[in-house]
Amino acid sequence: MSSDPWSRPSLDDLRQILESIGKPGSENVRAVDRLELSVPAEIVTSRGNTVSAVTREISRFGLGLLHRGAIQPGEVTVKMASENRQFDYRVQIKWCTPCDRGMFISGGEFLAKEEN
């Protein structure tokens, strides 16, 4: 684990957290299938703070994140990048809870793009 308490979680951190959470023993009752997705991301809060994160999963309607530091429910911008393009998404964080290794997992719904 990195000595910087606000650094981005590593993929090893993500794997260990997901293993500690475990797979649910019951049937998946979610309305929309989610895909596992582990890519670096940044969460920009409404106050302008940037929190480094790693995505956990994504669906058509939202995504799950792993990060250090709690994030209050509310609207944020989640930034993800590919080799040649940056993607910015408006997300309504619905929940945030602590997990192992001093990290937090959160989940949110995508919001419609703002019209200019």
Rounded Cα distance between 105 and 102, Å, is: 10
Rounded Cα distance between 23 and 77, Å, is: 28
Q: Which tokens sit at 61?
A: 């309607």
Query: What band does 25 get if pLDDT is binned at 50, 70 and 90?
Result: very low
Query: What band does 98 get if pLDDT is binned at 50, 70 and 90?
Result: very high
What confidence score (pLDDT) does residue 111 get? 96
CB 51, CB 67: distance < 8 Å: yes
The domain limits of the chain are: 11-21+34-110
φ, ψ of residue 18 to 5 degrees: the values are -65, -35
What confidence score (pLDDT) does residue 23 get? 54
Query: What band does 26 get if pLDDT is binned at 50, 70 and 90?
Result: very low
Please give the CATH architecture assigned to the domain spanning 11-21+34-110: Beta Barrel (2.40)
